[in-house]
Chain A
């Protein structure tokens, strides 16, 4: 059973606000990922981490930033939210096998 958590599940916020989307996993996985998904579209990788203090940008350019200070925690921050950031954000982690485990997602709406 995968244990990966995301908060909040839903967020409606005004333009210009700073937000942090939380992601935590209790499986001790080294690798963690953030994806962005719009309805009917593929999951786009925006950030990934191979371990503590290791973060890389993904294939889709994103104005968000991430940090990985602890193995279990991989928060994503938007300094100034805009309507174009409206999307679903999915966090995932991976251990020694190929499959990734996903959290439930955060649906962000920026007004």
Chain B
């Protein structure tokens, strides 16, 4: 059973508009969440994270929102740029286990 789900396999957005990527989880023990970006033939690179004690974390154009009651988090990219085109993975960990559960990824395409 998948504990971290990214139900949209792909998303297309116009340059300059907002990209919203979603992630749902089922394990209430998860207390830390991360977003990674992955280009083809490269390893994932860390983007932004959020602890369960917060509901929002912002870093430049990237903002992550956490809704614990809904077990849902989202990544907002504003404004979207063509260089943001990549696969985005969300990941979750529980209680300092140092193990991460990843979603299946969402492929974002930003159209110029």
Binding site for B on A (CB under 8 A): 4, 6, 9, 31, 35, 40-45, 48, 50, 58-59, 90-92, 94, 98-105, 107
Contacts and interface: CB of A to CB of B under 8 A. Distances in A.
Interface in B1-29: 2, 4, 9
Looking at B34, B36, B93, B99, the one whose CB has the most chain A CB atoms below 10 A away is: B99
Contacts of A40: 9, 104-105
Contacts, number: 58
Interface size class of B (residues with CB under 8 A): 20 to 34
A67 to B, nearest CB: 19
Nearest to A97: B49
B41 A104 contact: yes
Interface of B: 2, 4, 9, 32, 34, 36, 41-46, 49, 89, 91, 93, 98-105
B100 A100 contact: yes
Given A42-B89, A98-B93, A105-B42, A48 B49 contact: no
Given A102-B43, A104-B41, A45 B103 contact: no
A102 B44 contact: yes
